[in-house]
Amino acid sequence: MTDSDGADVNNFGFEYITTAAVVSTYQAGIGIFESLLKEIKELSRKKPDATISASKVKIINRVLADLLTFLKSEPEGKYLEVLDDEALPQMSDAVLIMVQFQSAIQSFKVRYNRYVDGSNYWITKELLAEWASNGGPDDDEG
């Protein structure tokens, strides 16, 4: 069902809808991001003023850039940026930037992941299309 502008209005009442591709990127990056954040926090506790090596910045920025592909369009996205790879940041600066990403990631999950009929679902265009063709959520999905 569409409205007069041709937009899909059969969204089952969900205000926020993403795509399966975005969820896939989220799922691919979240574990690596959390591991990197844990490691940088630990290094920061030992030497908060130490400068991060260029190779560490490169590794971290690859993950942050992946996350930015979908986070930049979220409300929190305007506050996010990768680490400066020319003026290498201190550990404490990297932690601050990465914690901003962590907050945005948590907001993303709260916005698009819902508990429906006994299961958690990522609310995606693809899922809603499937529900529209099947008549609604199915407890075997998730």
Q: What is the pLDDT of residue 12?
A: 85
Let me know if residue 96 belongs to a domain.
yes
How many separate domains does the chain show?
1
Let me know if residue 84 belongs to a domain.
yes
Let me know if residue 106 belongs to a domain.
yes
Q: What is the pLDDT along the chain (142 residues), one digit of tens a residue?
A: 444 444 445 678 899 999 999 999 999 999 999 999 999 999 999 998 999 999 999 999 999 999 999 999 999 999 999 999 999 999 999 999 999 999 999 999 999 999 998 999 999 999 999 999 988 786 454 4
Let me know if residue 55 belongs to a domain.
yes
User: What would the DSSP string read from start to end of 65-124?
Assistant: HHHHHHHTTSGGGGG--PPPSSSPPBHHHHHHHHHHHHHHHHHHHHHHEEEETTEEEE-B
Let me know if residue 33 belongs to a domain.
yes
Domain that holds residue 78: 20-134
Let me know if residue 112 belongs to a domain.
yes
CA distance 73 to 134: 30
